[in-house]
Chain A
Amino acid sequence: MSAETVLTALLPEVLLLAGLLLLIGLEIAVPRHRGAFAVSLLAVAAAAAAAAWLSAGGSSAAPFPGHYSVGPDTFAAKAVVLALAVPVLLLARGEFPGGPFYPLLVSSLLGVCLVVSADSFLTLFLGVELMSIPVYVLVVLAFQREESAEAALKYLVLSGTASATFLLGVSLLYGGSGSLALSAFSTALGSRDVLATAGVVLVLSAFFLKAAVVPFHTWAPDAYEAASVPVTAYMAAVVKAGVLFAVLRLFALAPAERPLVDLLALLPLASMVWGNLAAMRQDGLRRLIAYSSIAHAGYLFYAFLGDGPGRFQAVTFYLLAYGLMNVLVLAALPPAGDDVARDRLERLKGLFQRQPYAAWMIAVAMLSLAGIPPFPGFVAKFLVFKNVVAAGYPVYAVLGLVGSYLGLYFYLRVIQYLFMAPPPPAEEASAAEGEGAPSRLALAATVLCLLPAILIALFPGWVIDRLGG
């Protein structure tokens, strides 16, 4: 395989790597430079565009046979993830004028790209770690709260335990199959051997933790709350996407079989119920988003009950709709004096009177996350549940919809705060105090989330066709 083909196949990664090297070079050569934002934005946007272009071209290649291969699917997945990172970067500008944020973010994105294309367990593991390790640091980086370090530590320890679980699972699969290829996983899905089953469950448990599925979700509320706004957006949208793409890669087209089906249904179901219930009485927006993301992890894993071919489309579309909406909420959140005040849900009361645009954006995102038509979240949820029904699990589908009904309550609560609750006069002064309009870059981020959201709401068919499958 010639260098040219390889370079083309790796174009998104190469662009990211070039950006990363440039960032590090700048850091060393120019002290106190202010170019980090521009460089990383350019690199990520270019990588996203390259991935989209390659996906449209329909090319596929295996630059590192047995380890790393690309096809239209992987390019589409990379395009989705990288595109989601662009508004996150726009949000970060205000919080992180420079420093280690940008190289860390770009290396984490590189990890996601590695995950999406991995063909062997080792590559997958590397990708997942490369994706996660920078995030532990990102959580604590802004250090806005006392709890930031504690939350980052919890995330690190629990995530590390999950990595150990993953490795144990992989070694069992390796012991059984003698192969480190990812296909060992999908083969083991159909096997009734003790080692294969145990390996599959252990690997799956690790990804349940990384995606925050009950009962492995405990790190998420703390970490989401402790991180700064752009990092929360990154975790909710991009990291979750990376984890789900890893699972997609693992399952390939293999159908889920009993007894795995029950595990794949019950834990996500518990996630939906628990996430939605716990979100009911949260006072902080980021904690609310954390619980909502726990519930959404449940919906996402539900997709794996469905048949293989529809899975990629369902998950990718869901990740796109869900990621855009999460970033949108956080981008539209008006800045305030300190972080704790900014995060308080109460402060959204009567936002519509003060900042109608921001209020509308948050409302659209909430309705979409709740899965109410005609917002994109509806089509996403529908795709998932339709596949579940078609695969012959109507009971699980109905239970899942019941679970998602519980979520309606807290999404509506936010909307009522926005539109229908004028803050009491005394609080109004304090609420408006320090509340600025969203920065121009944050506004650009909302537009970047909103336009694709409108696109996928109006022409879901067109988008799904582009996602291959």
Chain B
Amino acid sequence: MRLLLIVLIPLLGAWLPALAGRWGRDASAWTAAGLAATALGLTASAGPGVFDGQAPAAAWPWLPALGLEVALRMDGLALLFALLIPGIGLLVVLYARYYLAEDEPMGRFYAQLSLFMGAMLGVVLADNLLLLLVFWELTSLSSFLLIGFWHHRDDARQGARMALIVTGGGGLALLAGFLLLGEMTGSYSLSEVLASGDAVRTHPLYPAALVLILLGAFTKSAQFPFHFWLPQAMAAPTPVSAYLHSATMVKAGVFLLARLFPVLSGTDLWLFLVAGTGLATLLFGAYTSLFQHDVKGLLAYSTISHLGLITLLFGMGTPLGAVAGVFHVLNHATFKASLFMAAGIIDHETGTRDMRRLNGLWRYMPHTASLATVAAAAMAGVPLLNGFLSKEMFFTEILVLEAHPAVDWLLPGAALLAGVFAVAYSARFVHDVFFNGEPVDLPRVPHEPPAYMKVPVEVLVATCLLVGVFPAGTVAPLLAVAATASVGAPLPEYSLQVWHGLSVPFAMSVAALVGGIAVYAARRHLFRLHDTLFPRVDARAWFERSVRLAAWQARRLTAALENGSLQGYLAWLLAGAVVAVATALGADGGPLAGPLRVAPVDPVTGIGALAIIVAAVVTVVRHRERLVALVHLSVVGLLVALGFARFSGPDLALTQLSVEVVTTVLLLLALYFLPSSTPRESSRLRRVRDLLVAAGVGGGVGSLTWAVLTRPSETLSGFYVDQSVPGGGGTNVVNVILVDFRGFDTLGEITVLGVAALGVYALLERLVLRPPARDAAGRAWDRDPYPLVAAILSRVLLPMALMVSLFLLLRGHNEPGGGFIAGLVTAAAIVLQFLASGVAWTRERLRGDGAALIGWGVSVAALTGLASWAFGRPFLTSAHGYLHLPLVGEVPLASAMVFDLGVYLTVVGATVLILARLGRVAVLGRAAEGEG
């Protein structure tokens, strides 16, 4: 519970400082300090147990199915960080109280700071990989908010976004890595993962997991080449830089290296990747730092360099390397935080951070200057300060590290070089800012800051000194438990002393000091050389350019591919489907043709097929003349109907015929509003594309049909044929299937039909079409649009058609016919009236409401189904009997008949509804034309 409180108090209490902001800046600061102090106190109270070798742990299930649980554990490593985070946090709270200006929203600042503190404590205390990841991303988010704190500034917004894009991307890589790690070990519990190091290192997925996890750690800890977000993050207020971007958050990456050290380290890949990256970062950061003119920029690159150093120490994979790494985390946090705070004081008091203008500040602020000088000396690795101790350990370790004999000298040489640059930039920081003549053109006259603003710096510098002089008496026990926990095994002998005698590492330290001073003395030449030798290699610019390029390319591609052309989209769709099927089949490699032989073609069928092909080709070729194309299309439809009739499907033939008639007539009605020919719009290229797509689709469907036809099929038709009379009381199998066996589907279908009709109805509601006064050739329409002959004929046809449809409806159960066909015949007859006698005439006489008809139809069908429940039978169970009517013959009185009536009504209703609406459009259009 105590562990949970350590995390939750700053996390959930984060809104308290914002609330307290109403009672003034101090109230807000005190609240934030209270949160940090509580967390610190709770951690300290758990400390003695950890020193005794215990590791208090607690777990609550969160998402057990996934292995995600709220598991916290405090071992030595976690203790070290859990002391560091609220400890420095407390100092930063105090510092920020004086740093932020009167009019800045202090409540918001402290709230975000507490949020970060809680998240960071969560990272170090988590005993579950996924929980760690959750907190990890939370630190990225709160860092995003804090960098963007001064959101009126452009650089702050950009810096915030870049930091989150880089570290957030790292977080995703980490998620992938943890997923793989969890897969390898079978658990996401950190304790269990730590115990299965051997299994992980020999697993085939190990390299992938390692690379992904390292990506997460390296982006967070600003390792080369992902370092560029950190200098950009310096747009944050300086307390944030001191806290997040030097002391704590950027340490999360190296913390992860320390945490997973027992699992992942010890392989060549680890050595190569981690030590290599660390070394590159160490050198790059140290070198670049020297050439910064911005004080915070210098400190940022120096931070990158020191993070590289820590990474290198862990990368060596030796226990003593890990000890030195942990030690340097602590030392770097203290001296770099104090340096940032000093830089903030300087910025605050002088109004600039440019080292070319800041000179000779010693005279104006001697107290601050002396504190900063001590801290900078620690950074340079001057003896009697903490930085010296860990650097000494680093030199020792790098000397014993075994590398290839040819490059044996390379690693110590590189280390020495980095040491030289570290001394040089530290010297530059001290000398340029505090000495080196008089300040140039400062915005303000500098003086010492308020006393309390210096307290945090004093505390940190005192720590540097104490640890530097009495390492064994102060930090040794904490370092021992932390390093033991990190290594996961008892540590070998090592001594934490200021004086080791005249050894090679000491000689290297001295050489670095002397060399560094010399380099700084020769800085003018070096600067010139730097400017001429190195073109500005700016990873940030690369990053921004690639983001811009990606976005630009995306925009170009969207403009090109998604240009709003329906034809293009259809081509995508069809080509996509063809390619998908072809790929799947190609990979599968099964035979296309089945075992059956194809029956020979008789002349009649052959001629029919040929006619269909010809009609289809003519439709395509003359598609720009709309009427001609429509006529040919209907030829295709009629021939298909004939085909059904020939292959023993009279019902299908009837249905196809009536559907064909009704749709053709509807299309003719629509043609009335359109010009008689389509203009030529497609380019040759597009026609070629369309030809290819059409050939692909046609060929594909054709070969699939071939495959179907050459295979023996075991279908259900036998069952339906056998069961038609006993089960459904009808000999027309198709109709019995529709209204009885699959009545449920039919009910659904007529519902969909009704909804579709209502949809068309609604769509046409606001449509006003003006019928063209002349056709394409410029001829006026006939003055008598409704010729008498057609009108008379259609009126005679109407009662006959109604009789036929009644006949079809009644006999449908046994002979070809049924509700669907009957409905279509009725609909065709009504459409004919519209065509022959005009909309106005027909509307006047045909008062039927299409919507109501649909409603009745669906209700009748549904009620038939429901009625069977009244008899305790399942939905749509049918009952049947027979009735003999004169002329019609045997009329089956199946309950399905009633159902069929519903189908009939719906079909008629849907057609009438659409027609009526189209007619209204025409009437409105004519009225509009009349006005115009």
Contact = CB atoms under 8 A, between A and B. Distances in A.
Contact of B566 (A24, A153, A259): A153
B208 A394 contact: yes
Interface in A2-18: 2-3, 6
A281 B551 contact: yes
B680 interface: no
B708 A175 contact: yes
A465 B62 CA distance: 12
25 contacts: A3-B872, A64-B875, A65-B874, A126-B748, A136-B759, A158-B570, A161-B573, A174-B715, A194-B588, A194-B591, A197-B590, A209-B573, A218-B573, A278-B562, A372-B171, A382-B175, A385-B175, A386-B182, A405-B172, A408-B168, A412-B164, A413-B161, A420-B148, A461-B63, A461-B66
B176 A398 contact: yes
Given A277-B550, A394-B183, A218 B592 contact: no
From DSSP, what is the main secondary structure of chain B's interface residues? Answer: helix
A389 B759 CA distance: 45
B134 A374 contact: yes
A195 interface: yes
Interface in A185-218: 192-195, 197-198, 200-202, 204-205, 209, 215-216, 218
B233 to A, nearest CB: 14
A157 B570 contact: yes
Contacts of A372: 137, 141, 168, 171
B855 A143 contact: no
Given A394-B180, A419-B151, A100 B758 contact: yes
Contacts of A450: none
B160 interface: yes
Given A259-B587, A401-B173, 16 more contacts: A63-B874, A126-B751, A136-B763, A161-B570, A168-B701, A175-B715, A198-B585, A260-B584, A277-B557, A371-B172, A385-B176, A386-B182, A389-B183, A398-B176, A409-B551, A461-B66
Interface stretch (B407-415, B575-583, B818-826, B915-923): B575-583
B98 interface: no
A141 B761 CA distance: 11
A258 interface: yes
A108 B887 CA distance: 45
Task: State the 4 A-B residue pairs at the shortest beta-carbon distance, nearest first.
Answer: A259-B587, A420-B151, A126-B748, A3-B869
A65 B714 CA distance: 22
A216 B572 contact: yes
Contacts of A374: 134, 138
Contacts of B547: 409
Interface string A450-463: 00000000011100
Interface string B545-577: 001001111110110001010101110111111
Interface string A34-67: 0000000000000000000000000000011101
B755 A107 contact: yes
Interface of A: 1-3, 6, 24, 28, 63-65, 67-68, 100, 103-104, 107, 114, 120, 122-123, 126-127, 129-130, 133-134, 136-137, 140-141, 143, 150, 152-154, 157-158, 161-162, 165, 168, 172, 174-176, 178-179, 192-195, 197-198, 200-202, 204-205, 209, 215-216, 218-219, 221-222, 258-260, 262-263, 267, 277-278, 280-281, 313, 367, 371-374, 378-379, 382-383, 385-386, 389-390, 394, 397-398, 401-402, 404-406, 408-409, 412-413, 416, 419-422, 459-461, 464-465
A219 B569 contact: yes
A263 B580 CA distance: 7
Contacts of A172: 704, 708
B495 interface: no
B707 A195 contact: yes
A197 B745 contact: no
Given A385-B179, A389-B179, A460 B566 contact: no
Nearest to B169: A405
Given A130-B755, A157-B566, A389-B183, A143 B766 contact: yes
Interface string B731-759: 00000000000101100110110011011
Interface string B176-206: 1001101100000000000000000000010
A130 B749 CA distance: 9
B716 interface: yes
Contacts of A200: 584
A204 B584 CA distance: 12
A134 B759 contact: yes
Interface centre among A122, A137, A154, A179 (most CB of B within 10 A): A137
Contacts of A123: 744-745, 748
Nearest to B574: A161
Contact of A373 (B64, B134, B713, B744): B134
Contacts of B251: none
A389 B177 CA distance: 11
B179 A397 contact: yes
A112 to B, nearest CB: 13
Interface range on chain B: under 10, 10 to 19, 20 to 34, or 35 or more?
A: 35 or more
Contacts of A464: 63, 65
Nearest to B173: A401
A6 B564 contact: no
Interface in B130-175: 130, 133-134, 137-138, 141, 144, 148, 151-152, 156-157, 160-161, 164-165, 168-169, 171-173, 175
Given A215-B573, A281-B555, A126 B752 contact: yes
Contacts of B160: 416, 420
A103 B713 CA distance: 43
A261 B585 CA distance: 13
Nearest to B151: A420
Contacts of B577: 165, 201-202, 205
A52 B762 CA distance: 33
Contact of B61 (A1, A198, A383, A461): A461
From DSSP, what is the main secondary structure of chain A's interface residues? Answer: helix
Interface centre among B180, B564, B591 (most CB of A within 10 A): B564
B172 A401 contact: yes
Contacts of A222: 564
B212 interface: yes
Contacts of B574: 161
B624 interface: no
Interface centre among A28, A367, A408 (most CB of B within 10 A): A408
A28 B711 CA distance: 54
B711 A175 contact: yes
A280 B554 contact: yes
A3 B873 CA distance: 8
B748 A130 contact: yes
A161 to B, nearest CB: 6
Contacts of B176: 385, 397-398, 401
A280 B568 CA distance: 23
Interface centre among B65, B564, B573 (most CB of A within 10 A): B573
Interface in B42-76: 61-66, 68
Given A420-B151, A421-B157, A133 B752 contact: yes
Contacts of A193: 590
Interface centre among B205, B584, B751 (most CB of A within 10 A): B584
B708 A195 contact: yes
Contacts of A133: 752, 755-756, 759
A408 B66 contact: no
Nearest to B577: A205
Interface in B814-861: 851-852, 855
A141 B165 contact: no
Nearest to B765: A100
A374 B68 CA distance: 12
A194 B756 CA distance: 35
Interface in B203-223: 205, 208, 212
A222 B852 CA distance: 34
Interface string B697-726: 000010010011001011110000000000
B640 to A, nearest CB: 16
Contacts of A153: 566
